Structure formats: structure tokens, C-alpha cells
Structure 1
Amino acid sequence: MNDEKKRGISLPDCMTLRDVRASIDDVDRRIVALLAERRGYALQAARFKSAADGVKDPAREEQVVRNVRALAGEEGIEPELVETLYRDMIAGFVRVELTSAGHRGPPALENLNVAAFDAMLPPEEVKLRIPASERAARTVAEGRRTMEAILDRRDPRLAVVVGPCSIHDTDAGLDYARRLRELADEVSDTLYLVMRVYFEKPRTSVGWEGLTNDPRMNDSFQVKEGMELARRFLLEVAELGLPTGTEALDPIAPHYRGDLITWTAIGARTSESQTHRNLASGLSTPIGFKNGTDGEVDGAVNAILSAARPHAFLGINDQGRSSVIRTRGNRYGHLVLRGGGGRPNFDSVSVAIAEQALAKAGLPQTIVIDCSHANSWKKPEVQPLVMRDVASQIRQGNRSIVGVMMESFLETGSQPMSAELSQLRYGCSVTDPCLGWDQTVEALREARALLREAVDERRQAGAPAPAQRATAS
């Protein structure tokens, strides 16, 4: 007996799409009628409960869920899907029961400062609306493998995470991505380019919080729109064959776009946050932890250790339901030096101190240098000088530095946010000042020329003995 006959479904070969949709509409009417009948019985059952029983009957609820899961399995339907529907339905019936009984509940003690809850589509739905193409998925998978090989020293090239401080104009961002894709091919024998794509901006006090939170840049906070816009942008960049790197700031956002990211950073303000260490332990990408804003590396080193181990914490699943997330731990945590406390830390002495801190913790001496932020005093013209110093250290035999970061856009500098968005200069940052495109090309070509011989020597020598990585315990 085939599945259609088993489930009592008859689908004549002559049926058209219109016929199928009409049949679906008919089934939906019957389902709603059955739900109404189910609700009636639920309300009738409630009348038999005593006040001591309470509204909720957890034991009966679990019995119902077990029953419908078993029935779902018999019908070839995913039990998890049916369970989700039934739990939502039961919760809804309880709300109806309370309302019909005139139940007012205790005085409001929660959400006193919450103006509204705006429903978001679950991550699964957004991914179905904006699915990753085969080419995009291949870009991400190959990018992650390459970054892991660089971190393990199996690939001798220098990783370069380069791009705008933040994405505010997706047209300008794609313009930059296309240019970077061509440059990536040119320097690929020595440098591995990953586009910096930041959609969330941590603010010291107030300010624009990024494309995800405020895509219209007018404090309207159309987060649903921003989430979909960000995913579409990542998809288009990945389809160019260009890997992307981002910062994990909001713990929910990776559920919506993590499948399109190659490398992730945890910022200087959040490396000591347990929430972000938990999050990092479950991310599928290699992850760089930045040193603190005071310039100290201990917090980031502890974060690498923490993220390498399993964790269990509250979050959501792809269906948007509250869940306990249990992680395996992320083996590819590494240190990002970005300066701080009024001083840079890209120099050889600072790098040696960071190496000692990693070794003391039993971690691989794996370091990425951020050429911007405090390492350049937020002056974009200083970034190429930092890159030059890093190249010099590698040429002199340093093996711990495996990558750099740069803030770069089409135009040099930054501009203030304007109420009239049409007045913004195309390709110019609205957050931290960036190095212009021409200067970026010059800096990366120079780095390639300086490092080509050193990279060739590494390639000929082969990978060193595997470094001891933090493991789950």
C-alpha cells in the first residue's frame, strides 16, 4: 500500500494546481471545524476541574502530546511539528478558558517598561523565504574550511577580514563586494580575503544600532525588515564566491543568518559576557575574541577557553520556540588584538605578551591583528602602517599572527547620519572612519608583495606540528 492510499488521499493524475489548492482550502475548513470542536471539549473539561486543580493539567497535557506524536509518526508527519502545533493550541485554549471565567489575574508585575511585543517570523520561515543557494552554501563551507586551515597553519596564507565598519547601504556594500572579489583573486596566493559585513553596532551610549535593528535609519526599528535585508545581502555576497565575517552581538540573530557566515568576531565589549561565550560555543564558524577596551587580553583568553567547552543555555530553535540549547564547544576560538586603554597592541612586544598569555592558558598561539580601532587611533590612514608592521613581524619569523582586520569602504573617512538619507555620500561610512578603496588596494597589494616570499617558505616547509587546542572536558 502506498503512502497516499494509507492516508486516505486520492490524487487523480488529471488534477491541476488550482484543483489541489481548492482541496487544500477544503481541508483547512475541516481542520478549523475540528479545532472548534476540540476547543469546545476543552472548555467542557474545564468545568469538571476544581479550584485546587488549577487551569493547567501538566500530566494530561504531556499525555496528549505523547499521543499526538505517536499518531503523527503513524501518518508520516514530523512529530516535532505536531507537538509544536498542539502545545500552542493547548496554551490558546487555556487563555480562552481564563477569559471566559472572567479571570483577571494578579496585578501586573512584568513588562512594565515594555511598550509592545512585535512578532518576528521564526528563523526557519525566513530561511525558506530567502534560501541559501548551492553556490552560496559552497562559498561558506569552503570559506570555513580555509579559515580553519589557516588557524591550524595547514594553509600558510594570511587571512584578511576587510570591509566597511558597518553596512548601511546595501547597494554600496555590493559594489564594494564585487571589487573585493576581483582583488581576492589577484592576491589569493598570499592573502585570503574575507569581507567584513557588520549589521549590528554596539553603542557606548546611544547611536545608530545597525542595519538589522534600524534599516531605515530613522529610529523606526523595523527589525523584521532589517533581518531579511541583512540575509539577502549576505546571500548575494556569498553568491559572488566571497566569504563574509561578522560580529555576533545579538544572541538570536545567528539563527537567522549564521548559515551564510564564514568567520565571526566577539567584540571588545562582549568577550567577557557569559551570554556571548555560550553563544560562541555553539557557532559553526571559527571565532575571534577581541581583547577588552582597556587593552587587556585576559578576558579574551578566558573566553576562548570557555567557548571551547560545552554549554547549556536558554535560546530559541529554528521554529522560534524557547529551547535549552546544548552545545559541543567551538575548537576554533582565537585572539584578536585591537588595542585599547589609550595604546595599540599590534607591536612585537605586545604580540609576545599575548603569546605568553595564550601559552599559559594551554591555548594555541593564534592571533589576528585588528589594524583599526585603538591600534590606529581610529585614523584610517594609519591602518596601512599597522599592516606593514604586521608583515614585518611575519617576515622576521613570527608564526602566531595568522590574520588581520581592516575597516575599509569605497570612500575614505566617515560622515554624520543625516535625517535626509539622500544627502549621504555614496560608499562612505556612517560609523567609524574607513580607509578608502584605492588606499585599501594599495595596502593589500603591498602586503602581498612583502609576504609572498615568507608565505612560499611556509608552504615549502609544510605545516608545523599541530598546536594544542582547547577541548571539551
Structure 2
Amino acid sequence: MAEALSSADIGGQCRTHSASTPEELLSALPLTGDAVRSVSAGRRTARRVLSGDDDRLLAVVGPCSIHDVNAGLAYAKSLRELAGELAEDLAVVMRVYVEKPRTTVGWTGLLADPALDGSLDLERGLRTVRTLMLEIAEVGLPIATEWLSPAAPAYLADLISWGAIGARTVESQVHRQLASGLPMPVGMKNGSTGSVGVAVDAIRSAAAPHAYLGHDREGGPVTLRTSGNPDCHVVLRGAAGRPNYRAADVREAARLLSAAALPTGLVIDASHGNSGKDHERQALVAREIGAQVASGDTDIRGVMLEGFLIPGRQELGPGEPVFGQSITDSCMGWDTTVEVLHDLAAAARRRRAVTAVAP
């Protein structure tokens, strides 16, 4: 006879802690009129650029992961001013990444560990992150984030104009289902091995309707039914020792998309595997991507950049951390980011001129 399981056996090693429901958090920190306009305009613009209806270049730029709210806001205010200057040629969206996927262990992001000390106070993290995103949206800057926890969109999706599914999760059925119901364009990164095919598969899956178990805004269990997301696209981010941002890589990605009867527009991540996580190399990669755009390549619809106020990265220690410097991947500093975005804007202008006279 099979041995009966106790409640402790079923629960395993998990312990539960109470958390606000999405309805409670959204009621406490509601969208303002300015935030609604920023999010809506950001989504609309991203869709038009990615579809090719708007000939600008999408520029998703910001810290690898935000760990300091004040530094994040300072960066946002500077980026908003720069975005206004370059608005004729670039559609700028700020990276506000608050969940950090890990191959093994490490700091998991502002949402899970806002105190940066391993205390994992998610209730505080939810409020910290939503407050930060509201302030950035109210500045008038569209927000991008990577979706990692399937529960997070219920608390934050109303603030996001562009989302990403990362290299570690692009093959996950859970994340493909999640993307199918998200109300914004979603970039599917190539797999951690470098495979673009898995991203193409993810786009096809996310474009279809799905039904899966989830929770409503009051926290109750429900069946979620999605209609499919038509605005998913490939993000080329390379792999260890295998960059994929060059012209031949773009052509091959476009071929795979076309073979799957999908639009060929894509985004290229100048960081991660394409730069070997070297912030100085990242600027060079971005300029090489810009050269392809300037030559008339219309499949490249966007570029992702990791930039913060201070270049490089730092390890957290007992002393006061450097204000505006990443604690995860190395980022370009502000001055370099300004130069790179101006170069990309010039590339978009050149592409506009080249394609206008093309037969």
C-alpha cells in the first residue's frame, strides 16, 4: 500500500508569507494621467517602429539592473531630456530591469531583494519597484523590463511599454504563455546557446491563444485565457564567444523568420554575448550595428544598450557603493551612452535618406 503523504511532505521546503494582492498594490499606487499617456504612447510607438510603419530606430537603454532608486531616477531624468533631443530619429525606451535571472546564485534584483542583503522582502520590493516605475513614467519616459516571475505582470504590466523574455527562459512554456497575454510588444532573445530558432518558436507560440492557471487581481485562482500577442519579435544577443550582430547574422535571422511566415524586423542587443559583457566593447558593437542601419538595412528595427551614470561595475562591500554604477553587468557610462545614441540617430537619418532614393 502506498504511504500517505503528510501536509509537510506536500509543502516541501516552502514557507508562505503574506503579500499584497495586485488589486491592493494598484489601488495604493495607481496610474496617474501622465503615466497612462507615457505608457500608451510608448507601446504605440514601439509597435509602429517594430512593424516598420515608423522609420525611426527603437533604442532600449539603461542599467543592466536597477539597484538604487535614486540613481535610477537621476538616470531617467537625463535620458528623458536626451530622448527629446533625438526624437526625430530614435524612439527611446528606458531599461528598468528589476528581476535578475541567475545561472546559479547571486543578487536576484530589486523586486526580490530591495535591501541588497539577502533578506528577500518581496512585499517591500513590489512597492519599491512600482513606485519607481510610476515616477519614471510620469517623467514621460516609456519603460522596458524583462519578465521573469510569472506573477509580476499582475503588479507591473500596466506600467510597461516593451518587455523581454530572456535567453534562459525563452524556451519555457510558462513564459511563452505569459507573453501571449501581455499588452505590449515582447522581444524574444535567442537562447543561451545562441539558437535563434528557439526565439522564432517562442514568437509563434506567443502569437497563439493559450489557457493556463493564474490569479486574478484579488489574488484568487482563475483560468487565464489569452488571445495571443502579435507584437513579439527576435532579439539577437549572442552567446558566450558567439556574437550574432553582424550583417550575415541579421540575414540568417531574417531568413528563419521569413521561413516561419513571420515579419523579419528584429532588435539587436549590443551587450551580453555580442560584447562579451565588456562595456567598452559594447559601444563599438553599437556603432557597427549603426553602420548596418546607415547602409539601408531595414530589418534592424531596434538596439538594446546597457548604460548607467558611471561606467563599469562594482562589487557590493561594507563601504558606500558608487552612485550610479552597476552591481551586475558592466554598463557604458553616461557620456559614452550619449555619443552612441547620437551615432545611432545619425544612422537612422542616413537609412531614411538611402531608402528614400532606393529603386
TM-score of the pair, normalised by structure 1: 0.73
Contact 2:290 2:343 in 1 (8 A): no
Once the two structures are TM-superposed, the CA of residue 398 in structure 1 deviates from its matched residue by 1.2
- Pairing 1:240-319 to 2, within 5 Å after superposition: 240-319=139-218
Structure-2 residue corresponding to 1:165: 64
| 1:326 match | 225
- Distance in 2 (alpha carbons) for counterparts of 1:360 and 1:110: 46
1 CA distance for matches of 2:21 and 2:144? 23
**Residue type of the partner of 1:428?**
Q
Separation in 2 of the partners of 1:193 and 1:272? Answer: 28
Q: What CA distance in whole angstroms lies between the structure 2 residues aligned with 1:193 and 1:162?
A: 7
Whole-angstrom distance in 1 between the partners of 2:328 and 2:247? 29
User: Aligned partners of 1:106, 1:405: CA distance in 2, in Å?
Assistant: 49
SS of the aligned residue for 2:136 comes to helix
Matched, 1:444 2:341: yes
Give CA deviations for 1:188-221 in whole Å, capped at 9, x if unaligned. Answer: 1111110001000001100000001000011111
SS of 1:351's equivalent? Answer: helix
The one-letter amino acid of 1:111's match is G
How far apart are the structure 1 equivalents of 2:306 and 2:186?
18
Higher relative contact order (CA 8 A, sep 6+): 2
Q: Distance in 1 between matches of 2:272 and 2:289?
A: 16
Q: Which residue does 1:121 correspond to in 2?
A: 20
- Aligned partner (choices 152, 156, 162) of residue 51 of structure 2: 152
Match of 1:183 in 2: 82
Q: Distance in 2 between matches of 1:447 and 1:263?
A: 19
Match of 1:410 in 2: 309
Equivalent pair of 1:215/1:226 in contact (CA under 8 Å): yes
Task: Please state whether the residue corresponding to 1:451 is helix, strand or coil.
Answer: helix
1:112 and 2:12 are equivalent in the alignment? yes
- RMSD over equivalenced CA pairs, Å: 1.4
CA distance in 2, matches of 1:106, 1:453: 68
**C-alpha distance after superposition, 1:17-45 (max 9, x if no partner):** xxxxxxxxxxxxxxxxxxxxxxxxxxxxx
Encode CA deviations 1:313-360: one digit per residue, 9 max, x unaligned.
111111111111100000000000000142100000111111111111
Q: Do the aligned residues in 2 keep the contact of 1:294 with 1:340 (CA within 8 Å)?
A: yes
Cα distance between partner residues in 1 of 2:197 and 2:348: 30
Larger mean Cα displacement after TM superposition, 393-402 or 184-193: 393-402
Instruction: Say whether residues 1:130 and 2:25 are aligned partners.
Output: no
State the secondary structure of the residue aligned to 2:268: strand
Native 8 Å contact 1:394 1:401 kept in 2? yes
Equivalent positions of 1:415-434 (< 5 A) are 415-418=314-317, 420=318, 423-434=320-331
5+ residue gaps in structure 2? none
- 1:448 and 1:344 map into 2 onto residues whose CA distance is 23
CA distance in 2 between counterparts of 1:297 and 1:180 reads: 31
Q: Does the Cα contact within 8 Å between 1:314 and 1:325 map onto a contact in 2?
A: yes
Q: 3-state SS of the aligned residue for 2:351? A: helix
Q: CA deviation at 1:455?
A: 2.8
Distance of 2:12 and 2:48 partners within structure 1: 50
Q: Secondary structure at the match of 2:214?
A: strand
Partner-residue secondary structure (3-state), 1:139: helix
Q: Is 2:296–2:354's contact at 8 Å kept on the other side of the alignment?
A: no
Q: Which residue of 2 aligns with 1:344?
A: 243
Deviations 1:282-337 (A, max 9, x none): 00010000001111101100000000000001111111111111000000000000
Question: 1:112 & 1:268 partners in 2: Cα distance?
Answer: 29
Q: Which residue matches 2:296?
A: 397
C-alpha deviation, 1:279, in angstroms: 0.1
C-alpha separation between the residues in 2 aligned to 1:359 and 1:225? 45
Say if 1:190 and 1:455, in contact at 8 Å, map to a contact too: no
Query: Residue 441 of structure 1: SS of its match in structure 2?
Result: helix
Larger relative helix fraction: 1
Are the counterparts in 1 of residues 90 and 345 from structure 2 also a CA contact under 8 Å? yes
d(CA) in 1 for partners of 2:336 and 2:320?
Answer: 24
* Partner AA of 2:344 in structure 1: A
What percent identity do the matched residue pairs reach?
Answer: 47
In 2: Cα distance, 1:428 partner to 1:391 partner? 26
Corresponding residue to 1:387 among 286, 295, 299: 286
Task: State the structure with more CA Rg.
Answer: 1
3-state SS, counterpart of residue 302 of structure 1 = helix
Q: Distance in 2 between matches of 1:205 and 1:395?
A: 40
The offset of 1:126, in angstroms, is: 0.1
The 3 A distance-change label for structure 1 pair 456 and 185 is farther
**1:225 partner SS:** helix
- Give the alignment's TM-score, normalised by structure 2: 0.96
